[in-house]
Structure 1
Amino acid sequence: MHWQIRIPLRAVSSIRNTNWSLAFVALAALCWGLSGGIAGILTGEGWDPVVVSFYRGGTGLLFVLIWLALKPHHSGLANPRLWFWSVLAGVGVTGNFTFYFISIAEGSVAVAATLMYCAPVFVYIVSFLFRLEKPTVPKCIAMVLVMAGVVLLTGIYDLENTDVTLIAAGAGLLSGMSYALFIFGFKYAAPHGSPQAILLIAFAILAVLLIGLSGTTETLEVLSAPRLPLFLALGLLGGGISFILYIRGLNYTAPALAAIVAMIEPVTASLFGVVFLAQSLAAPQLLGMALILLTVTALGVYSSKA
């Protein structure tokens, strides 16, 4: 679940700090990849993707609440602008988690994770529409390549023979679009407060929205279900320590390097689906997946150097 957010950094020359930060980014991406695989197990057993999303975000809420309590300085919680953009980020992360897990439930972990990884392309499209950035040839080429990858991955060129349903493909793309909304919200909230305050508001919005959508019956059933440890693991990896690790890791990691390391997430999720869920991809899908991952990663490197 990688995003390009520029947070004010302190100059540091320590190689040791850089190595630790890179390790944090890699661990965060690994955790997000594993969380997708765990969600595949839970939704495969019939658990509602909305309930699964609630526990992922709810656990994240508890973690950032503790983080904010330990480091309450310069939170910005009294700033109305922080609240506006953080609420927007909350709507985005709610859609991201929910549509991602719906895509997994209706299709496969590999397809869902790869389609979500298209989020930076949606960010550029919105930026172009609102004239926040100027289109460049490399960016336009990257968008065409990603769209070609989506066509190959989803098999929409041959709907009669594809294993990817329209719901799975649509939810996967919507998860990427929602993620783009989260990126915008977080980016514009960042100058007005601390990352932990922004995430606290965002996850609180997620909890309110998803408890309303899922209802309390099935949500409470999880607390006495045999799969409770798996729900806790999902929350811990996908919504708890991963966000803290990633933001801490960005302090001393160049955005270009972070973009490359972030490929660990979709690769891990895909391998999990193959090894533990017996999911597979046809040759055109593998080509589409590679095209998306390599293009989006190259786009992230190019953008960070521009």
Structure 2
Amino acid sequence: MQKQSSMLLILLAAMLWGTTGTSQAFAPEAAHPIAIGAVRLAVGGFFLLSLVLLTGKLTLKDWPLPTIFLAAISMAAYQPLFFSAVLMTGVAVGTVVAIGSAPIFSGVIEWLVLRNRPGTIWWLSTLLSIAGCLLLVMNQASVSVDPFGIVLALGAGMSFAVYTFVSRDLVKTHPPLSVVAVVFTLSALLLSPLLFLFDLSWVFSLRGAGISLHLGVLATGIAYLLFARGLAHVSSSTAVTLSLGEPLTAALLGVFVLRETLSLLSWVGILLLFCGIGLLIWSSRSTRQPDIVELAKEKHS
């Protein structure tokens, strides 16, 4: 039951991430996508740091500094890599490559580091979800492929997979709120130079401020806090596959909020995403699998 609750927390986080596209559609025209990513992290980091200081739950003892910095660098790298990939090769291709490659990278990392080979259910769920994501974005009117953009998108997928893997170790020994507060504050500091490279006057408009608060507080602060809490009882590969609920949410919001029209292939993609994510949740009910980290420790002991 604890594992199912954790999976639902991660799925809820993915749904909050899925609101970013709709939010950006309402952003002022002067808002550059990379600047939006930097502002998102800055607001999110400040919100999480304020929250952990107000609750008095920030502890600075026994922090594994290399792991903390690796998580912060991974999250900071994800923002410009993803937004640059989308700018260079289009929303459709950039999103599919970045989000679709993350579960594969995550499974490979677990295999290499923990010597844990992902099971058949995970592979089937991941392939269904990636196929669904691919069909979903085929709704885009134009598709272009830029080789360097593809490399950047793969880098974004790897960054998210690394962040998830190392964060899982951190939430095992430290409160999730402290973990995300420290990691996102450091990530925001790393990306702060980008704030001086773009016009940020849009942030001070009523609509710009509202979009910044939504992206920073809900789609970043609260979303990654939920994600961190869920990671305590779910493998990183499973968590990254569940995060494919993000494009599913974005597509549904596009239909019901932005009045977008989806093709038949896109609706088939939504169905495949539902099947892939549902299969993972169903498998957690039908089987009780030992914790991946505990298995790895037993193998090395």
Q: Same fold judged by TM-score > 0.5?
A: yes
Q: 2 CA distance for matches of 1:232 and 1:115?
A: 25
Structure 1 pair 142/223, CA: closer, same or farther in 2 (3 Å)?
closer
> Of residues 188, 213, 233 in structure 1, which corresponds to 2:214?
233
Counting matched residue pairs gives 278
Query: Residue 161 of structure 2 aligns to a residue in which SS?
Result: helix
Q: Supply the AA of the counterpart residue of 1:294.
A: C
Q: 2 CA distance for matches of 1:133 and 1:247?
A: 21
Query: 2:299 — aligned with what?
Result: none
Q: Supply the AA of the counterpart residue of 1:119.
A: A
- Whether the 8 Å CA contact 1:189–1:198 is kept in 2: the answer is yes
Please give the TM-score of this superposition, normalised by the length of structure 2: 0.70
- Whether the 8 Å CA contact 2:49–2:182 is kept in 1: the answer is no
Query: Residue 218 of structure 1 aligns to a residue in which SS?
Result: coil
Q: Supply the AA of the counterpart residue of 2:39.
A: Y
Q: 2 CA distance for matches of 1:130 and 1:153?
A: 33
> Of residues 63, 69, 89 in structure 1, which corresponds to 2:47?
63
- Whether the 8 Å CA contact 2:16–2:218 is kept in 1: the answer is yes
Query: 1:195 — aligned with what?
Result: 176
- Whether the 8 Å CA contact 1:25–1:261 is kept in 2: the answer is yes
Segments of 5+ residues of structure 2 without an aligned counterpart are 290-301
Structure 1 pair 196/140, CA: closer, same or farther in 2 (3 Å)?
closer
Deviations 1:196-245 (A, max 9, x none): 22212321232123222x24153642443452222222212212333345
Query: 1:78 — aligned with what?
Result: 61
What fraction of aligned residue pairs are identical, expressed as a percent? 23
- Whether the 8 Å CA contact 1:142–1:299 is kept in 2: the answer is yes
Query: 1:224 — aligned with what?
Result: 204
Q: 1 CA distance for matches of 2:85 and 2:254?
A: 13
Query: 2:104 — aligned with what?
Result: 121
Q: 1 CA distance for matches of 2:248 and 2:93?
A: 8
Query: 2:294 — aligned with what?
Result: none
Structure 1 pair 191/244, CA: closer, same or farther in 2 (3 Å)?
closer
Q: 1 CA distance for matches of 2:123 and 2:7?
A: 29
Query: 2:298 — aligned with what?
Result: none
Segments of 5+ residues of structure 1 without an aligned counterpart are 7-17, 156-160
Structure 1 pair 80/111, CA: closer, same or farther in 2 (3 Å)?
closer
> Of residues 279, 283, 291 in structure 2, which corresponds to 1:298?
279
Please give the TM-score of this superposition, normalised by the length of structure 1: 0.69
After TM superposition, the structure 1 = structure 2 runs for residues 102-181 of structure 1, keeping only pairs within 5 Å, are 102=84, 107-108=90-91, 112=95, 116=99, 119-146=102-129, 148-149=131-132, 152-153=135-136, 163-166=142-145, 174-181=155-162
